[in-house]
Each structure stands twice: as structure tokens, then as C-alpha cells.
Amino acid sequence: MSLQPLIDHFDRFIPLEAGEKLLLDGRVSQRSIKRRQAILQEGFPCKHYSFVVAGCFRMYAIDQSGVEHTILFATENEWIADIGSFHSGQPSKLFVEAVEPSVILQIEQKDLYFLYLNVPKLDRIFKVIVENKYVELQNRLLQTISSTAQERYLAFLDAYPNLASRLPNTQIASYLGITPEFLSKIRKTIAS
């Protein structure tokens, strides 16, 4: 297992010393995930922060009518976790599923807390990561309540230029809060 992608990721925030990097060893596990394989299911607590080395994941919920609502996507060099469930130990209301074959590095709660105490830089790095994701979700919520579907789709393409070709239309539509048929209409309008 190579921790280099994770070390490179952390180094973009604050470079780690050799001893700090050594503390990661044994506290991070690598997993290969198949397409459509879940790493978190509703009703189970989130036990890991997952760093995407390769591939793509989506986080979603299923409402009482059985409709999926995609909350976010995570691709290479991004983290994905139900943070509320991770910290509280409560069952998650969310699913996290691989959109394509993927490789992830995972850190369990006890190991992350150990790293926070013994590598203070990682405590700061994770605060910045969570703050950035919070800002992203705030902007997404504001966009959802104040933009048209076409504006949301264009913003999605702007924010994730390489993601649209990797995702099925149903998942993009779910993320935008529209039907796949309406997404097709928007694409036709933009193309003409």
C-alpha cells in the first residue's frame, strides 16, 4: 500500500515532517472498491473517513417514496464521510457508493483522533478540509433555492468539468434535483 497520494494531499496544505508521515503508517488502510459497491449504508454508523485515490463516489439518501437524492460526489484527492455519524456513532441516514471502480484510503475514528493529538498539523488540515466542504455545501444549497435548473446544471459543469462524462444522467439529475428527462431537455437547449 502506498500512502504517497495521501501524503501529497496533506503536503498541499501543510508539509509533514518524516516522523509525522511515519505516524500515518498502520493507521490508514487501503481498499479496492467495485462499481456500485457501498462503503456506507443507511442504518449503520460511519466508521471511516475515506480518501479517494482513484475513482468516484456519490453520497445520497433515499426518501420515503424511494427516490434517491444525491448530496455530493467525491473524486480523486477528495474525502467522503457522513461526518455527523462518524463523530456521534449514530446510524447514518446516507449511502456512500462507488460510481466506478475505485481505490480509497480509510482512517478509523480512533486513528484519526490519535493523529489529531500526535500530528497537530493534521488537526488543522482536517479543519480546513471540513470548512471548505461546508462552504461548498452552503453554496450548493443557496444555488438550489435561488437558481433555475439550467443555471444549476451550468454551475455543475463549471465546478466539475471532468465529472459529467463519468456519471450517469440519473445521478447528475438527482444531484441537480430534477428528472433525467428534464436534464435531457436542458442539454438540448444548451446545445442549440
DSSP string, 29-68: EEEEE-TT-EEE-TTSB--EEEEEEESEEEEEEE-TTS-E
| Model pLDDT, residue 162 | 87
> What is the sign of the dihedral through the CA atoms of 26, 102, 179 and 62?
negative
Please measure the distance between the N-terminal and C-terminal CA atoms of the chain and give it in whole angstroms. 48
In the three-class reduction of DSSP (H, G, I as helix; E, B as strand; rest coil), residue 110 is classed as helix
* CATH code that applies to domain 4-119: 2.60.120.10
Give the pTM.
0.92
- Neighbour count for residue 109 (Cβ, 10 Å): 16
* pLDDT value for 180: 93
3-state secondary structure of 178: coil
Q: For the chain, which residues make up each domain, given as ranges?
A: 4-119
98 forms beta bridges with 57
- Cα–Cα dist 140/177, whole Å: 11
The total of other beta-carbon atoms located within 10 Å of residue 160's CB is: 15
pLDDT for 4: 94
**pLDDT for the residue numbered 192:** 84
Q: Is the dihedral of CA 146, 161, 150, 174 positive or negative?
A: negative
- pLDDT (tens, 9 = 90+) of the chain, 192 residues, equals 789 999 999 999 999 999 999 999 889 999 999 999 999 999 999 999 999 999 999 999 999 999 999 999 999 999 999 999 999 999 999 999 999 999 999 999 999 999 999 999 999 999 999 999 999 999 999 998 999 999 999 999 988 888 988 999 999 999 999 999 999 999 999 988
Find the DSSP H helices in the chain: 4-13, 18-24, 83-88, 109-118, 120-146, 149-159, 169-176, 180-191
**What integer pLDDT is reported at residue 159 of this predicted model?**
85
Please give the pLDDT value at position 13: 96
- At 160 the pLDDT is 86
> What is the predicted pLDDT for the residue at 128?
96
